Amino acid sequence: MPIFQPLLIWLHQRKYLRLRLVQIFLLALLMNLLFGLFFYIVERTAQPELDLLDSIWWSMVTMTTVGYGDLYPHTDIGRFLIAYPCMLFGIAIIGYLLGMAAENVFDHISKKKRGLVQITKENHIIICNFPNLDKLMRLTAELKLHPAYEHSFFVIVSDSISKLPESLPTDEFAFVYGNPTSEPVWQKANLKAAAGVFILATDPFNSDADAITFAIASVVELIRQEHHYSFKVVAELIHQDNLSLMQKARVDGIVTPEGLTDCLLAQEFLYPGIHEIITQIISNKVGSQLYILNTKLAGHKVADIQVAVLKHPANLQVIGIIKQGKTILNPAKNECIEKGDKLIMLAESRRDFGVIEKDILSSNSV
């Protein structure tokens, strides 16, 4: 029960504010009708053409201080006993109503920045933990270079910051405050409707960083299995030694920078320019990218696919296959594709292979 206490308090407060707004609105409407009725009773003798609808109209115009001047009291009773109180009470009630509505709006904006509002977006990307702003900006910028995520909305889930950084636009980013190992926090982030989750390492210098990532990934995976959600999960790992542990969390992808820089330094020394090549391959910003694609070409040899690729005008290369979960780069030409295998392609667009695959399948059916 203590876990849900903040949520229950928030819902109660929202319910109370809405109830107060409805009450004040109904009171303003009642006064509008009463003052209109009194105005009609008092003024109908002095203004024979006046009807009840005109009187109610006059009451609303007077209460809101619009003052069109199309109707006004002709009698002293109408001026001082009807119009005068109508203006005073009208200004007070309408002012209070608008003030309360504005306060509610500002309160909602404030809570939204502090991560206390339920996320209603769908197909959004959730970024768990906030190591630093630069890393977040690089990650989101890289994702937006992909056509499928060009207009993605990002939700940050973290308890290490108290509000959404001012430099992040609210039309692209939202924030949910809380411990990422808590299921209610993920519910607030609308995990069920998310397109994917990135679990970033909290602190590369923290010896417990991988353990925290594993705990978060395990919670997310349990939620995904229990409710049969379809989002993807990628986790960042600090130490390569913890890879087998992280794999038990059953995330879709694990990225670890440990050792990668050392390998790149050595390769750059041996073959200057390797770093630029790797950068182009892994970035959506420039050049061709790597794609891992499902294929319907079971029964075909790698050589058959490579020949079809060479004949096609698109810039595309088959550089490997994934067979039974094992990655094979530069496979033997007589290697046969089996059902469930995936192809590793280097291409400018993933759509190009779809055309080649159709050509191969159609040629076999002839």
Q: Which tens digit of pLDDT belongs to each residue from 111-130?
A: 888 888 899 999 999 999 99
69 and 173 housed in the same domain: no
CATH number at residue 165: 3.40.50.720
CATH number at residue 106: 1.10.287.70
Question: 278 lies in a domain?
Answer: no
Evaluated on CA atoms 122, 128, 129, 133, the torsion sign reads: negative
42 and 91 housed in the same domain: yes
245 and 345 housed in the same domain: no
CB atoms within 10 A of CB 358: 11
Instruction: Please determine, for residue 41, whether its predicted confidence score (pLDDT) is greater than 90.
Output: yes
Write down the pLDDT at residue 287: 67
226 and 345 housed in the same domain: no
End-to-end CA distance of the chain: 67
Percent of the chain with pLDDT over 90: 37
134 and 246 housed in the same domain: yes
Write down the pLDDT at residue 311: 82
249 and 159 housed in the same domain: yes
Phi first, then psi, for residue 46 (nearest 5°) are: -75, -25
Task: Give the model's confidence band at 8: pLDDT under 50 very low, under 70 low, under 90 confident, else very high.
Answer: very low
Contact 176, 127 (CB under 8 A): no
Question: 118 lies in a domain?
Answer: no
CATH number at residue 303: 3.30.70.1450
- Among 68, 90, 113, residue at a domain's last position: 113
Structure tokens, 28: 């303003």
Structure tokens, 222: 């349990």
252 and 358 housed in the same domain: no
104 and 190 housed in the same domain: no
Instruction: Measure the CA–CA gap between 211 and 191, rounded to whole angstroms.
Output: 22
pTM of the model: 0.66
Instruction: Please determine, for residue 12, whether its predicted confidence score (pLDDT) is greater than 70.
Output: no
Instruction: Mention every residue, 6+ apart, whose C-beta is less than 8 A from residue 364.
Output: none
Task: Give the model's confidence band at 356: pLDDT under 50 very low, under 70 low, under 90 confident, else very high.
Answer: confident
Question: 283 lies in a domain?
Answer: no
Question: 23 lies in a domain?
Answer: yes
Tell me which residue range forms the domain holding 154.
125-256
Give the three-class secondary structure for 45.
Answer: coil
Contact 67, 61 (CB under 8 A): yes
CB atoms within 10 A of CB 347: 21
Instruction: Measure the CA–CA gap between 334 and 331, rounded to whole angstroms.
Output: 8
- Partners of 233 in the beta sheet? 197
Question: 236 lies in a domain?
Answer: yes
Percent of the chain with pLDDT over 70: 94
Write down the pLDDT at residue 15: 64
Write down the pLDDT at residue 364: 67
pLDDT, mean of residues 90-99: 82
Contact 332, 301 (CB under 8 A): no
pLDDT in tens, 199-218: 999 887 788 899 999 999 99
36 and 68 housed in the same domain: yes
76 and 96 housed in the same domain: yes
Write down the pLDDT at residue 188: 93
Question: 269 lies in a domain?
Answer: no
Helix, strand and coil percent figures for the chain, each rounded to 5: 50, 15, 35
214 and 136 housed in the same domain: yes
Structure tokens, 91: 């200004």
- Among 63, 80, 113, residue at a domain's last position: 113
Question: 241 lies in a domain?
Answer: yes
Question: 276 lies in a domain?
Answer: no
Mean pLDDT of the chain: 85
- Among 113, 146, 173, residue at a domain's last position: 113
Contact 216, 252 (CB under 8 A): no
Instruction: Mention every residue, 6+ apart, whose C-beta is less than 8 A from residue 318.
Output: 302, 305, 306, 309, 343, 344, 345
86 and 133 housed in the same domain: no
Number of domains in the chain: 3
Taking the CA atoms of the chain, what radius of gyration do you get in angstroms?
32
